[in-house]
């Protein structure tokens, strides 16, 4: 599904202040894997996330997603990849606060030109898949708990049926218990629906909820191993 091959990223190339954020990174991710990419601040994990999310392109190397070389695409083509193949979940939620849960999840489908009836049906299915109770669909997002808000964000990421769910520090603004609930939602999506999930984090205990952990430091892969001590998170609100 995903192949990253000898990917480098240099900012301000050809200048005295050039900085190489990625230094020949290579790995593959199979369809249906749950992978954590872990590293400290400045390790290159955010740069790698931007490339995997088609938000940026590498300076050199290949990024193949579903057989397509993303590393050479134009801005418009990258936008199509983001719309059709990648579901993003961010630390900051990015929901409209005075808009209902259902309409927040429907919003990406408006941009995709989907008719209103289909938008509503697909949004309800995505919310159910993310573990939201139907009684909350009409609530505004500013009336929900942190864990519920992040589940709405997960549903919004699912609504276009993406190939890849890319979660960037999704528990960073949550307390430990609520974070466990959100991580349990990702585990359930991976185990029960076969969704491919890539989780970006700097925390070991968060990374251990994945089945595989890639450690990155100073722009290079430090280790890549199966998680033998996978933690099972709770999914109840």
Segment 74-83 shows an average pLDDT of: 90
Mean of the per-residue pLDDT values of the chain: 89
| Phi-psi group of 99: left, alpha or beta (phi > 0 → left; psi -120 to 50 → alpha; rest → beta) | beta
pLDDT in tens, 173-220: 888 888 898 899 899 889 988 899 999 999 999 999 999 999 999 999
3-state SS assignment for residue 2: strand
pLDDT bin (cut points 50, 70, 90) of residue 7 is: very high
What is the model's pLDDT at position 236? 54
pLDDT in tens, 30-46: 999 999 999 998 899 99
Name all domains of the chain by residue range, CATH numbers in brackets.
Answer: 30-45+85-226 (3.40.50.300)
The pTM of this model reads 0.87
Segment 37-56 shows an average pLDDT of: 93
Name the packing angle between helices 146-158 and 101-111 (round to 10°). Answer: 30
pLDDT bin (cut points 50, 70, 90) of residue 111 is: confident
């Amino acid at each position: 599904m995903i192949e990253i091959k000898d990917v480098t990223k240099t900012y301000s190339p050809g200048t005295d202040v050039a900085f190489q954020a990625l230094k020949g990174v290579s790995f593959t991710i199979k369809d249906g894997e749950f992978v954590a990419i872990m590293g400290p601040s400045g390790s290159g994990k955010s740069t790698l996330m931007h490339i995997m999310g088609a938000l940026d392109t590498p300076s050199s190397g290949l990024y193949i997603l579903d057989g397509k070389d993303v590393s050479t695409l134009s801005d418009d083509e990258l936008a199509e990849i983001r719309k059709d193949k990648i579901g993003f979940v961010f630390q900051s939620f990015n929901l409209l606060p005075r808009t209902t849960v259902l309409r927040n999840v429907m919003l990406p489908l408006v941009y995709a030109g989907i008719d209103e009836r289909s938008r509503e049906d697909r949004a309800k299915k995505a919310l159910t898949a993310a573990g939201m109770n139907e009684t909350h669909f009409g609530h505004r997002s500013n009336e929900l708990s942190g864990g519920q808000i992040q589940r709405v964000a997960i549903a919004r990421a699912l609504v276009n049926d993406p190939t890849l769910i890319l979660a960037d520090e999704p528990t960073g603004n949550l307390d430990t218990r609520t974070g466990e609930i959100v991580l349990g939602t990702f585990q359930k999506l991976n185990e029960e629906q076969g969704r491919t999930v890539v989780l970006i984090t700097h925390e070991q205990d968060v990374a251990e909820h994945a089945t595989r952990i890639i450690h990155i430091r100073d722009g290079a892969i430090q280790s890549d191993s199966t998680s033998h001590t996978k933690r099972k998170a709770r999914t109840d609100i």
